[in-house]
């Protein structure tokens, strides 16, 4: 409905500008907002206030002219002016009812914008170091990142999901010596235990698998363990492959998959890091000081210059990041979104500065970032701090095993990413109205139950037969549902534009609330009024479709029975 009104108002604006002989352009986007008070109509536009100054007229006069020039529409019952020049639209009853036919015709495509192809977009997310099980923070990144990818696809982008493995550097070395220590029988409370070693029980699992000669597959190559406690390189390679396999299994259980896996180590073996450093030196934005190579990132807005190559040798961690993102650009991605933990905030300026310093046409501010805050897991009113397996943190697998994939995905998505999230295990497990994911899925199951009853009574839903009876949907609860269903495409578009997956969760919670209120107030199977039955069945079928579509965006199932 909002897009329909935008079309009307844009046409009126074009007519007014032509009539006035003004040399100005029609605004590229026209603001149409739902009103907070029904007394002021259903939607309002401030276009008159926007055009007043360039046209040299009072806003009220511009509003009056726009209303006069509005194309006729059966969906608009009346138009009123308010305040200094707001245009308020009161919709006809069948304008709301028409959304049912739209949803039934579109099905799973309702809410998607497949009319245009925006270009190639990459979402890089999770990208955990292969040094241990995925923790709950990685889980939040997985839930948010996957939902972002689904939203961008719905908005018309050609999306690639990518996982970047930091399989080089000090943390990988610490993993290798940790597994080696376990192989040699050294325990974590032994003085000989490595100072920066990993202490989780999973290290014991890796050590046993290596000594048992287990074979793991990574990057289409098999790595087999051996009873050799002194070959640190072999132990390290095996451990990385083993933990990558474990992380992949956890993500599969979470319903998250990737199109591309990239390795930090490959950036070195392929020579990309060296070529990037050479390009940065050639750009004139580097300098040598105290035996180190520096990048003058302050030329591009950073608060201080950054070391690229340390005095003792080796590159700092942001250098391969610059090489990696340059490769993303070379692969033709118009947009890149990095979904990462808030601890990555400090790397944003230096990575963008490095990319700008390359002088290869990368736009300022590329790539984009969505950063998520930490997660606190609560059970029984107390914080859960450790996992039996990981030893020092709660793992993603812990949550999936405890509350299920659906609840885990919903709860990790349902709060704005840059807000701290408290994951209440007891709430996530409860089967009550207080549990939002249960409440939403129950709304879907309730509709399915009604449809089964209808079929049993010979009142099975027929979409074609419902087209002429939608005018019977006049009750308050019906209008509330119709209005909310009509907002779904706008919500999807806005959530994608603002990179805000939590908006989907909020929308579904409100939709479930409206459905339950409708269910409790009215009957759907009326033998004495088959026309009204068909109309109401059409409405709840449309509601079921939107619930399915919304849950699919956040990777949550829509059960038919509960």
CA-based nearest residue to 5, from 38, 33, 28: 33
CA–CA–CA angle 89, 90, 95 (5° rounding) = 110
Q: How many CA atoms lie within 13 A of 479 on its CB side?
A: 10
Tell me what pLDDT residue 412 has. Answer: 97
| Residue extents of the structural domains in the chain | 2-91, 170-262, 270-372, 433-553
149-159 as b/e, with b when 16 or more CB fall inside 10 Å?
Answer: bbbbbbbbbeb
Per DSSP bridges, beta strands 335-341 and 368-372 are parallel
CATH number of 270-372: 3.40.50.620
CATH number of 2-91: 3.30.1360.70
> 3-state secondary structure string, 225-284?
CCCCCCCHHHHHHHHHHHHHHHHHHHHHHCCCCCCEEEEHHHHHHCCHHHHHHHHHHHHC
Contacts of 545 (CB under 8 A, 6+ apart): 103, 104, 107, 108, 110
Exposed e or buried b for every residue in 317-330, given b needs 16+ CB within 10 A?
ebbbbbbbbbbbbe
pLDDT the model gives residue 220: 74
Which residues touch 206 (CB under 8 Å, ≥6 apart)?
179, 182, 238, 239, 242, 243
Instruction: Kindly report the CATH class assigned to 433-553.
Output: mainly alpha
pLDDT confidence of residue 89: 92
Closest by alpha carbon to 323, among 285, 282, 279, 273? 273
Q: What are the per-10-residue average pLDDT scores of the chain (562 residues)? A: 84 91 82 84 91 92 94 92 92 87 95 86 95 95 98 96 92 95 94 92 95 88 89 95 94 96 94 96 95 95 93 91 97 96 91 95 96 95 82 90 97 96 96 96 98 91 87 94 93 95 98 98 94 96 98 98 94
Look up residue 173 and give its two tokens: 């070395």
Q: Which helix (H) or strand (E) holds 157?
A: strand 157-165
Could you identify the residue written with the tokens 């006729």?
A: 72
Q: Given this model, what pLDDT does residue 126 score?
A: 96
Determine contact, residues 71/11, Cβ cutoff 8 Å.
Answer: yes
Specify whether the CB–CB gap between 32 and 2 falls below 8 A.
yes
**What is the structure's pLDDT at 289?**
95
Helix (H, G, I), strand (E, B) or coil at 150: helix
């Amino acid at each position: 409905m909002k897009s329909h009104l935008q079309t009307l108002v844009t046409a009126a604006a074009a007519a007014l500008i032509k009539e006035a002989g003004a040399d100005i352009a029609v605004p590229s986007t026209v603001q149409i907002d739902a009103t907070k008070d029904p007394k002021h109509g259903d939607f309002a536009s401030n276009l008159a206030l926007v055009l007043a100054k360039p046209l040299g007229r009072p806003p009220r006069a511009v509003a009056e002219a726009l209303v006069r020039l509005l194309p006729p529409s059966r969906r608009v019952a009346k138009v009123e002016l308010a305040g200094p020049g707001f245009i308020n639209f009161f919709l006809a009853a069948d304008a709301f009812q028409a959304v049912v036919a739209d949803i039934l015709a579109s099905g799973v495509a309702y809410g998607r914008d497949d009319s245009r192809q925006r270009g190639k977009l990459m979402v890089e997310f999770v990208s955990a170091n292969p040094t241990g099980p995925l923790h709950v923070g990685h889980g939040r990144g997985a839930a948010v990142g996957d939902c972002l990818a689904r939203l961008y696809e719905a908005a018309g982008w050609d999306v690639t999901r990518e996982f970047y493995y930091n399989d080089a550097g000090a943390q990988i070395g610490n993993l290798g010596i940790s597994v080696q220590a376990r192989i040699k029988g050294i325990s974590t409370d032994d003085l000989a235990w490595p100072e920066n070693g990993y202490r989780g029980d999973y290290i014991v699992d890796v050590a046993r698998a290596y000594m048992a000669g287990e074979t793991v597959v990574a990057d289409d190559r098999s790595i087999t363990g051996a009873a050799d406690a002194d070959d640190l390189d072999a132990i390290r390679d095996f451990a990385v492959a083993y933990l990558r396999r474990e992380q992949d299994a956890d993500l599969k259980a979470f319903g998250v998959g990737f199109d591309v896996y990239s390795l930090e180590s490959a950036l070195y073996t392929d020579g990309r890091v060296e070529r990037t450093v050479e390009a940065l030196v050639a750009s004139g934005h580097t300098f040598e000081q105290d035996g180190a190579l520096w990048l003058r990132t302050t030329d591009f807005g950073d608060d201080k210059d950054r070391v690229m190559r340390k005095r003792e040798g080796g590159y700092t961690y942001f250098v391969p990041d610059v090489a990696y993102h340059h490769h993303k650009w070379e692969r033709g991605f118009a947009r890149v979104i990095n979904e990462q933990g808030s601890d990555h905030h400090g790397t944003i300026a230096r990575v963008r500065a490095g990319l700008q310093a390359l002088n290869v046409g990368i736009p300022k501010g590329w790539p984009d970032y969505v950063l998520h805050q930490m997660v606190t897991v609560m059970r029984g009113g107390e914080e859960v701090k450790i996992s039996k397996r990981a030893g020092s943190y709660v793992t993603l697998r812990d949550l999936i095993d405890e509350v299920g994939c659906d609840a885990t995905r919903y709860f990790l998505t349902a709060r704005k990413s840059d807000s701290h999230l408290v994951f209440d295990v007891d709430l996530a497990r409860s089967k009550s109205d207080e549990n939002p994911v249960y409440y939403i899925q129950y709304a879907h199951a309730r509709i399915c139950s009604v449809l089964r009853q209808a079929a049993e009574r010979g009142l099975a839903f027929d979409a074609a037969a419902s087209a002429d009876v939608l005018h019977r949907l006049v009750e308050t609860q019906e209008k509330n549902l119709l209005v909310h269903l009509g907002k779904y495409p706008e919500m999807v578009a806005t959530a994608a534009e603002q990179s805000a997956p939590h908006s989907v969760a909020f929308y579904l919670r409100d939709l479930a609330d409206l459905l339950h209120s409708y269910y409790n107030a009215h009957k759907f199977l009326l033998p004495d009024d088959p026309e009204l039955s068909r109309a109401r069945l059409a409405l709840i079928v449309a509601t079921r479709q939107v619930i399915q579509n919304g849950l699919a965006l956040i990777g949550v199932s829509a059960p038919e029975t509960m």
